[in-house]
Amino acid sequence: VVLQSHLPLSTMVFPMSLINLNKNEKFILSYLRRKHKASRVELAKVMGVSNQSLTRLTKSLLEFELIEQQSKTLGSRGQPAINITIKPNKLYAVGVVFANSKLIIRLDDLCGDHIAEISKKIDLSKPKECLETAESTLNSVLDSMAINEQIIGIGIAISGFFVSSNTVCNKYNVDEWTKLDLLSFFEVAFKVPCYVENDGNANAVGYSLSSRGSDLESAFVLTLSENIGGGFIAKQQLLKGHSGNAGEVAALFSPDPEAVRPCLSSLSSYLKRCSIENWQDSLDPSSDDHQHYLDWLDSATCALEQPLHFIQVLFDPSAIVISGDLPYQVRKTIADNVKFKALNYKHTEAEKAELIIDNEPSPLSKGASTLAIYHFLGTLY
Q: Note the pLDDT tens digit of each residue in 28-52.
A: 998 898 888 999 899 999 999 998 8
Nearest to 68 by CA among 47, 83, 51, 50: 83
Q: Do 282 and 148 share a structural domain?
A: no
Residues 6+ apart with CB under 8 A from 333: 297, 301
Q: Do 244 and 217 share a structural domain?
A: yes
Distances, alpha carbon 213 to alpha carbons 244, 327, 377, 380, in Å = 21, 20, 17, 15
Q: Do 295 and 227 share a structural domain?
A: yes
Count of Cβ atoms closer than 10 Å to residue 76 Cβ: 8
Structural domain boundaries, residue 120:
1-209+362-381
Q: Do 229 and 88 share a structural domain?
A: no
Per the prediction, the chain carries an average pLDDT of 88
The confidence score (pLDDT) of residue 16 equals: 59
At residue 325, the 3 state secondary structure works out as: coil
Q: Do 54 and 167 share a structural domain?
A: yes
Q: Do 144 and 23 share a structural domain?
A: yes
Q: Do 366 and 354 share a structural domain?
A: no
Give percent of the chain with pLDDT exceeding 70.
92
**Is 10's pLDDT higher than 50?**
no
At residue 340, the 3 state secondary structure works out as: coil
Give counts: helices (H), strands (E), the chain: 12, 18
Segment 88-105, tens digit of pLDDT? 989 999 999 998 889 999
Q: Do 368 and 342 share a structural domain?
A: no
Q: Do 217 and 175 share a structural domain?
A: no
Name the β-bridge partners of 218: 234
Q: Do 109 and 12 share a structural domain?
A: yes
Q: Do 255 and 325 share a structural domain?
A: yes
CATH of the domain at 374: 3.30.420.40
Count of Cβ atoms closer than 10 Å to residue 87 Cβ: 20
Strands 218-224 and 319-323, sheet pairing: parallel
The confidence score (pLDDT) of residue 359 equals: 87
Residues 6+ apart with CB under 8 A from 62: 68, 69
**Is 156's pLDDT higher than 90?**
yes
Nearest to 334 by CA among 273, 277, 266: 266
Q: By the 8 A CB rule, do 249 and 232 touch?
A: no
The confidence score (pLDDT) of residue 256 equals: 92
Q: At what angle do helices 127-145 and 182-190 cross, to 10 degrees?
A: 30
Alpha-carbon gap, residue 93 to 85, rounded angstroms: 18
Alpha-carbon gap, residue 121 to 125, rounded angstroms: 12
Segment 157-196, tens digit of pLDDT? 998 999 887 788 998 999 999 999 999 999 999 999 999 9
Alpha-carbon gap, residue 380 to 237, rounded angstroms: 9
The larger pLDDT score, comparing residue 343 to residue 121, is at 121
Q: By the 8 A CB rule, do 374 and 115 touch?
A: no
Name the β-bridge partners of 68: 85
DSSP letter for 276, please. Answer: -
Segment 60-86, tens digit of pLDDT? 899 889 999 886 665 555 566 789 999
Query: What is the value of pTM for the model shown?
Result: 0.85
Q: Do 377 and 346 share a structural domain?
A: no
Number of domains forming the structure of the chain = 2
